[in-house]
Amino acid sequence: MPQVAPWQDAPEAAPHHLGHRERLRARAASGGLAAVPDYEALELLLFRTLPRGDVKPLAKRLLARFGSLGAVLGASPAALRTVPGVGDALALDLALVHELGLRTAREQVARRPVISSWSALVAYVKQVLAHETREQFRVIYLDKKNQLIADEVMNHGTVDHAPVYPREVARRALELAASSLILVHNHPSGDPSPSAADIEMTRQVVGALRPLNIKVHDHLIAGRDGVASLSGLGLM
């Protein structure tokens, strides 16, 4: 073994993460991305924006901060930047991945009648709203063939309330010549179970639209724990 002279520095040990990127990429390529755990899938994504250094600690910080991979990708750029190591470029790239997922899910809803592609609609609603930190009220407007006309945010609220105005829903439905619609909002608490206020608000919207012959197919409530259907629960 070569001797190191007293005046020479000992050779530095190779960083523990040296070669990790190549090993992780090779494992993902051979075993398939579906077999990669969440923190490593996030690492693979971080590699694209951060070409050098060990990103495993950052991936784990992001998951610890937001709670899940879906919540990381659904977080706002401002919230992402509160995590040490996340700059503007990475925040934008993570938001971009989320946006591409939303557009893909929206395509599945828009291609065929919504009523006949209910599972695609529920998946879209969950992706859009499950990780929102404020309550958001949306309306999905449909034509006479139950195909998508528009998916619009009617109001943003606080962590537990988004005001809904039945007359505004009716006015917009008439502007779009909608024949029916689906109400959608989220529960930031994670539990999608409808509250008494949710049920009463749904009945008010149904009542406002009935004289206009505009049908309310359902009211979907999204949360981290799933999506609840008021129609499926017999509450409308």
Point out the domain boundary residue: 101, 132, 152: 101
CATH code of the domain containing 33: 1.10.150.20
Two structure tokens written together for 125: 């609603």
205 with 131, same domain: the answer is yes
Domain boundary among 55, 71, 101: 101
Same-domain pairing of 122 and 85: no
**pLDDT given for residue 160 in this prediction:** 60
Name the domain count of the chain.
Answer: 2
Do 74 and 134 fall within a single domain?
A: no
120 lies in the same domain as 145: yes
Give the model's pLDDT for residue 133.
85
* The predicted structure's pLDDT at residue 41: 93
Q: 36-75, pLDDT tens digit by residue?
A: 899 999 999 999 899 888 999 999 999 999 999 988 998 9
Most confident of 5-14, 145-154, 209-218: 209-218
Tell me 178's DSSP state: -
Domain limits for position 86:
20-101
> How high does pLDDT run on average in the chain?
88
Confidence of residue 158 (pLDDT cuts 50, 70, 90): low
Asked if residue 219 lies in contact with residue 198, where contact means CB atoms within 8 angstroms, the answer is: yes
Cα–Cα distance list, 9 to 1, 2, 3, 15, 18 (Å):
16, 13, 11, 17, 21
Which pLDDT value is given to residue 112? 76
Last residue of a domain, one of 53, 79, 101: 101
Q: What is the CATH number of the domain that holds 181?
A: 3.40.140.10
Residues 94 and 166 in one domain: no
| Same domain as 174, residue 88 | no
Tell me how far CA of residue 197 lies from CA of 160, 200, 214, in angstroms: 11, 5, 22
| Model pTM score | 0.73
Residue with structure tokens 């090779």?
26
Distance, in Å, from the CA atom of 170 to the CA atom of 211, rounded to the nearest integer, reads 10
Query: Hey, which residues does 186 pair with through a beta bridge?
Result: 222
The whole-number pLDDT of residue 7 equals: 40
* 107 found inside a domain: no
Is residue 51 assigned to a domain? yes
**Residues 46 and 125 placed together within one structural domain of the fold:** no
- pLDDT (tens digit, 9 = 90+) per residue, 85-135? 999 999 999 999 999 988 888 888 877 788 788 888 999 999 899 888 889
Same domain, 142 and 97: no
Say which residue, 214 or 110, is predicted with more confidence: 214
* Residue 1 forms part of a structural domain: no
